[in-house]
Each structure stands twice: as structure tokens, then as C-alpha cells.
Amino acid sequence: MTTDIIYPLTFDPIFKDYPWGGRNLGEKLGRAIPEGIVAESWEIAAHPNGSSTVNNGALAGLTLPQVQEKLGLALVGKRNEAALAAGKFPLLIKFLDANRWLSVQVHPDDTYALAHGGDWGKTEMWVFLDAEPQAEIIYGFKPGVTREKFAQAVTEGKTTDLLHRLPVKAGDVAFVPSGAIHALGPGTLIAEIQQNSDVTYRIDDWGRPRPLHIEQSLDVLDFDLVEPSALQPKVLLDDGGLRIEQIGQCDYFETERLTIPDGSSFYGFCDGATFEIWAVLSGEVTLSWQGEPMTIKAVNWVLLPADLGEFQMTAEANSVLLRVVTPEAEE
């Protein structure tokens, strides 16, 4: 395969105008967004409901599914052979701007989702980029909630009385596995890393006239998720300069948050096992590899193909980055 098509990929996003959105992707993140409500920006996406388009280099103009078809394992890596065989890119990367409550909802696991619609299940994680004072999310149940008790609350219109609310602030992380009842609250702005799925079962939509999915929700809800807390980052490296925290780990993705001081570098190697997805959340970095160096400013994403080889991220100002990879399958 010619090396001119193995290079760091950037994309034009897809915007979604769901009724709970606002204008903060432009006003707070400085992104160019269309007029009106913008709820979500699908940054790296390869789904029937939206596929992002490459905007740089030799592959410019191709959608991510077209790039995957062209590059195959050179893009996704050996860990993702099953996804490649299924014709799916493993992950979906978004920004969300919650100006109002999202629906109270739950996502199924792979087994249920594939049996009831053909999509994958949906495990996801949220990194809070901004949160207004008193911002909160719905995340899990209060103690003592059973399936029967919750089903009764649904019929009485009292579901929210049984739900756990968690205050959040910028920098917090919430891990949302399949089966977790959840809803983003007003005044929150997040980066979302998730399985490549668009399956959502709504339980309560705050009176908005959208379909609900009560029976499916009752089938998949995890009633053992009681008053969960925000994820506690695990420090992997802190040498007084470069700091690396693990902020998400599951069967589908592993996420690290890196704090890189001005002038310092992170050295990496895409060895064919997995692609890497990077976000610059604040600051600015130079991405160096065997080709032309790239400047990546906040707040933007880049996809590094699995066969890219050696690379380094050098901070041109104090910077915070996210790094997302797919994990090795357990034996």
C-alpha cells in the first residue's frame, strides 16, 4: 500500500439539531457551526445516520467508511479485524451541547441491540469540557429501585423521583455502560467516546413529543447501578511535567488524558495493532510523523491509522489532550 494514503486524518463533522441543543459548540469551543440549534457534532463517524468526510491529504472528500474500505487493516489495526469484517468502524466520537435536559434514556448491550435492530450496543463515556454552576446529570438509580417499582413509576409519570442526580464540573468524567439509566443536564458540554451505535431507548423526554421505548428499556436497564459517582482517573505517569491519566477502560475503548507542558512531547508508535484517536482539548500541538508535520489546535480531533508508525505530539502551549485506542481482546 502506498504510504501517501497512510497519514493523520482530519474530518468535517456532521451536526445534529436535536431539541435539547444550543450554541455552545461555537460560543465556548470556537467551532464553526451552522445557524440554529446544534446539539451534537459527530467528529469521527462512520454510521448510516452520519459519516464524517476527510478534509486533508490524498483521501480528502472520502467518507470514513470509504477510507476504511480502501485501507482495511492499515486503518483499523489487527485488534479490529472483526469490526472490519462486519464493515463497521469500531468507535464514534462526538461533542454534545446540552442546553436542556436530554431524555432519560438507556442503551442496550450488543446482544440485545443486534437481536432487536441490527446495530451494536452502546457503551460510552463523557468528558466534561464545561459545566455551569449547579450543573448535574442523571446517572443510575436511588437505592431500593426494582424493575417492578420502576415500571409502576413509569405508569404514574414519576420516574425521575427514583433517579440519582450527580453534580458535575469541567474536567469530570462519567463512564456510561450499556444498561445505565442516564441523562445529560442543562449547562453541560462534553466530549463523548462511544461504540459505533445510534441505539437509544427513551424512558422520559420531559414532555417533548418524541417516541418512548418503555418495554425495551425495562428489558435492558441495570437496576444494580445505584448512586454511581464520577470516574476517578488513574494516574499512569506524572514526572512533574507530562501527566497521563487513564480515564476510561472497557472492552471497546481505552481513553487517556494527557497534560503536556509547553515544549514537552509525547512519543507514540502506531504498530498495526490499533488506530489512535487524539483530541486537543486546550492549547496547541505539533504532530510530527514521517510526513509533513501538522498543527492541531483546540478543540479538534485527528485519527492516526494503525500503520502510521512513529509519531510525536509536541505542545506549543500548555495543552490537554485525549488519546483513544481499542484494547486487546482478553484471552
> In what helix (H) or strand (E) does residue 114 lie, and over which residues does it extend?
helix 110-115
Question: What's the rounded Cα separation, in Å, for the pair 171 and 165?
Answer: 18
Dihedral sign (CA 230, 234, 237, 240): positive
Q: Cα torsion for 116, 117, 121, 127, to the nearest 10°?
A: -130
- Domain boundaries of the chain, sorted by first residue: 3-220, 234-325
DSSP 7: S
* Residue-wise DSSP of 40-105: EEEEE-EETTEE-EE-SGGGTT-BHHHHHHHHTHHHH-GGGHHHHHTT--SEEEEEEEESSPPPEE
Distances (CA, A) of 82 to 90, 122, 272, 277: 9, 17, 15, 19
- One of 3.30.1240.10, 3.30.2320.50, 3.90.180.10, 2.60.120.10 is the CATH number of 3-220, namely 2.60.120.10
Q: Cα torsion for 286, 289, 293, 296, to the nearest 10°?
A: -40
Q: Where does residue 19 rank: exposed (0-12), middle (13-18), buried (19+ CB within 10 A)?
A: middle
pLDDT of residue 231: 97
pLDDT of residue 241: 86
Q: How far is CA 141 from the centre of its chain?
A: 23
CB within 8 Å of 108: residues ≥ 6 apart:
116, 121, 122, 178, 179, 199, 201, 216, 219, 220
Which residue ranges in the chain fall short of pLDDT 70? 1-3, 331
Q: Cα torsion for 281, 285, 289, 291, to the nearest 10°?
A: 110
Q: Cα torsion for 254, 196, 303, 259, to the nearest 10°?
A: -40
pLDDT tens per residue across span 93-120: 999 999 999 999 999 999 999 999 889 9
pTM of the model: 0.97
pLDDT of residue 331: 53
Catalytic residue numbers, as ranges = 202
Q: Which fold has domain 234-325?
A: Jelly Rolls (2.60.120)
pLDDT tens per residue across span 256-289: 999 999 999 999 999 999 999 999 999 999 999 9
**Do 3-220 and 234-325 show the same overall fold?**
yes
Say if residues 154 and 148 touch (Cβ distance below 8 Å).
no
pLDDT of residue 240: 81
